[in-house]
Amino acid sequence: MCGIVGYIGNRSAIPVLMDGLKKLEYRGYDSAGVAYINGNGLEIKKTKGRIEDLHKILPFPLPECKIGVGHTRWATHGEPSDRNAHPHACGGVVVVHNGIIENYQQLRSRLTSEGHEFSSETDTEVIPRLISSHMEKGNTFEESMKKAVSDLRGSYALGIMSGNCPGKLFAIRNGSPLVIGVGQNEYFFASDIPAFLQFTNKFIFLEDGQICMLSRDDITVENLGPNGSSKKARQSSGAKVVEISWTPEMAEKDGFDYFMLKEMYEQPRTVRDTMSEWLDNPPKMLDSLGLTPKMVLGLRRLHIAACGTSYHAGLVAKYIIEALAHIPVDVEIASEFRYRDQLIDKNNLFISITQSGETADTLAAQREASKKGAFTLSICNVVGSTASREADSVLYTRAGPEIGVASTKAFTAQLAALCLIAIALGMKRGRLIAAEAETLINQLKKMPSLIEKALASGKHVKDIVGRIKGSRSMLYLGRGINYPIALEGALKLKEISYIHAEGYPAGEMKHGPIALIERGLPVVVIAPMDNLFEKTLSNIEEVKARGGKVIVVTDEPGLRTKADEVIEVPPAHPALSPFLNVIPLQLMAFWSGVLNGTDVDKPRNLAKSVTVE
């Protein structure tokens, strides 16, 4: 999705903005632009293409300026083109926007009838034109901006600046992520924290309906009301500043060629960090999350909603929580959750799982559950994100910034958090006996080193991928708790390498997908040595009998004689095997992407965080 940045301070603004945009590249984009105010007034440079293309059209030497805004555009309204690129301007007012203005057609007609001639197909262009229109009617720039915003419907994070007001920047939030970076006599705004981590680790998280006015020495935050009214926010002077523990290095490649590769190899640490605080006493974690013993004992059902990879983590959790805590768990794709009548009440716990904490559908599901009276807990990776602020309670995954669009380390960190919850609920509800809890906890303590061993298959996986290069389709099969891992393997492959892939429960093969199997079709089978092993073995035979090329992920070396390729992972407790089985599948997707020449960290059409419905 689009990324916006803004800067005001004593540094040269253009390099700061360009660097911020570079850090937001992972969000996905097709064009980029900046606007700045220098001695000649307001200037805008924008182009279709990458940040490098924007660099090429900047003046040399760079103009001296201390204020500016920037944008990376992920096309929604209008094709990727120079004219649709942001910033958009009218009457000296420039706007960068992330989100969607739902009533833009209506506003566009109104403005056209007033004589405005639009130069782009975007929904965004109505905003500077609306501001101008209000100014033409005698309102000041600030009044006009607030009035314009009250005309908008939809979701937006806006950065606004005017050539006639060169000492001020404005940031407005409604439904799309926006953070304010607080420096020494300098301020920043951005769609996401990594944009300015190298300058500050202090951030203010704006609420929906707030406007922040940034000058070199101060910021103020106001709550916007109807018809352009506004009231100073309670937190305004000395607004609540949150210190982030992420370092700039965490958002760098650190010697790896790709963020995805770096992030996969970070997993031993990120899983350890996520669990370390609570592993010796999981039930204590429930207390600290505000889940009182009475609530835990009274829980009748647990609802999990999430999207994509986070949804797959939720599916794994269903197996673990139902087995250890004996509570029925419903897991639903967040974009479906609010469109049916959910039977949720105050005896239910709702868990949202989200790396970014900004996924629009997941937020909507969480709000819906909250409205119905459920206690909402968010498993989230980004401190201060919307999901974390709106939930009744948050359990943070400690994965650090995840920049690669394909989620890897966030997934295993989510599994770690969910395992802690399952064990804690099981213990508190008296369903998990102490010895079994101890076995699981001991195994979880070893998980970082087991993941390290699983990662050692990297070179072998790369060779296998080389041997199946050219395949345009793949099947992923798993059973029980590893069925969601088959789904996750297929999702990873699709998004990174653009190869068609399906994840299926192995037992469902005979009900249709087996028709797809033909000579040479690569079929990845997850076959841990658990109670379903023999059944999975039969599925392997069925695939082989039809000429499929079987690639097995297993902890059973004996499978070498049965499969075309074997990827060994260390043995694990059956409830924890997904942690290890997912690793070769991540590596497989990664190497397929690299060998197919795709942009692995920024695959086509995708955005890291999906902030619109």
Residues carrying an active site annotation: 2, 608
Smallest distance, ligand M6R to C-beta of residue 406, A: 4
Question: Minimal CB distance to ligand M6R: which residue?
Answer: 308
Question: How near is the Cβ of 412 to ligand M6R at its closest, in Å?
Answer: 12
Q: With binding defined as CB under 6 A, does residue 359 bind ligand M6R?
A: yes
Distances (CA, A) of 227 to 140, 147, 212: 14, 6, 18
Interaction between residue 362 and ligand M6R (CB under 6 A): yes
Query: Residues 22, 248: contact at Cβ < 8 Å?
Result: no
Least distance CB 501 / ligand M6R (angstroms):
13
Tell me, letter by letter, the H, E, C secondary structure of 165-226. CCCCEEEEEEECCCEEEECCCCEEEECCHHHHCCCCCEEEECCCCEEEEECCCCEEEEEECH
CA-nearest of 587, 547, 585 to 564 is 547
| Least distance CB 605 / ligand M6R (angstroms) | 11
> Tokens standing for 11?
């540094």
HEC profile of 401-451: CCCCCCCCHHHHHHHHHHHHHHHHHHHHCCCCCHHHHHHHHHHHHHHHHHH
308 binds ligand M6R (CB under 6 A): yes
Based on CB atoms, which residue is closest to ligand M6R, 92 or 484?
A: 484
- Residue number with CB closer to ligand M6R (283 or 503): 503
User: Segment near ligand M6R (CB under 6 A), from 74-82, 233-241, 351-359, 446-454?
Assistant: 351-359
Residues 25, 151, 222, 495: which binds ligand M6R (CB under 6 A)? Answer: 495
Q: Which of 72, 133, 144, 355 binds ligand M6R (CB under 6 A)?
A: 355
Encoded tokens for 353: 């799982």
Interface region with ligand M6R, contact rule CB under 6 A, candidates 51-59, 404-412, 497-505, 539-547: 404-412
Binders of ligand M6R: how many residues, by CB under 6 A? Answer: 16
100 forms bridges with which residues in the sheet?
155
Cβ closer to ligand M6R: 191 or 309?
A: 309
* Per-residue binder mask for ligand M6R (CB under 6 A), 158-197, x = binder: ----------------------------------------
Beta bridge partners, 42, equal 37
Q: How far is the CB of 104 from ligand M6R (least distance, A)?
A: 25
> Whole-number minimum distance, CB 60 to ligand M6R, in Å?
37
Strand partners, 305: 332, 352
Nearer to ligand M6R, 362 or 577 (CB): 362
Nearest to 240 by CA among 204, 189, 209: 204
Q: Is 234 exposed, middle or buried (0-12, 13-18, 19+ CB in 10 A)?
A: exposed
Among 132, 407, 482, 592, binds ligand M6R (CB under 6 A): 407
Q: Output 101 or 606, the one with its CB closest to ligand M6R.
A: 606
Closest CB 405 distance from ligand M6R, rounded Å: 5
Of 193-201, 353-361, 461-469, 530-538, the segment contacting ligand M6R by CB under 6 A is: 353-361
Based on the shown chain and the rule CB under 6 A, indicate whether residue 457 belongs to the binding site for ligand M6R.
no
Q: For the residues of 533-575, what is the DSSP string, one character each?
A: HHHHHHHHHHHHHTT-EEEEEES-GGGGGT-SEEEE-----GG
Q: Which residue number, 355 or 539, has a Cβ lying nearer to ligand M6R?
A: 355
Among 17, 90, 158, 307, binds ligand M6R (CB under 6 A): 307
Q: Does 261 bind ligand M6R (CB under 6 A)?
A: no
Q: How far is the CB of 305 from ligand M6R (least distance, A)?
A: 10
Contact criterion met (CB below 8 Å) for 398 and 274: yes
Q: Which is nearer to ligand M6R, 230 or 359 (CB)?
A: 359
C-alpha neighbours within 13 Å on the C-beta side of residue 430: 3
The answer to whether residue 412 forms part of the interface with ligand M6R (CB under 6 A) is no
Among 122, 162, 174, 354, binds ligand M6R (CB under 6 A): 354
- Tell me if 587 sits within 8 A of 458, measured CB to CB: yes
**Residue number with CB closer to ligand M6R (72 or 309):** 309
Q: Which stretch binds ligand M6R (CB under 6 A): 206-214, 342-350, 452-460, 602-610?
A: 602-610
497 binds ligand M6R (CB under 6 A): no
Nearest CB to ligand M6R, comparing residues 348 and 362: 362
CA pair distance 503, 311, nearest whole angstrom: 14
CB of 436 to ligand M6R, least distance (A): 30
Cα 190 from Cα 549, distance rounded (Å) = 47
105 C-beta neighbours (distance < 10 Å), count: 12
Map residue 108 onto helix, strand or coil: helix
β-strand pairing of 187-190 with 202-205: unpaired
- Beta pairing, strands 301-306 & 329-333: parallel
Does 310 engage in binding with ligand M6R (CB under 6 A)?
yes
Q: For strand 41-48 and strand 67-73, is the pairing parallel, antiparallel, or unpaired? A: unpaired
C-alpha to C-alpha distance for 343 and 295, rounded to whole angstroms: 18
Query: Which residues are at the interface with ligand M6R (CB under 6 A)?
Result: 307-310, 354-356, 359, 362, 405-407, 495, 606, 609-610
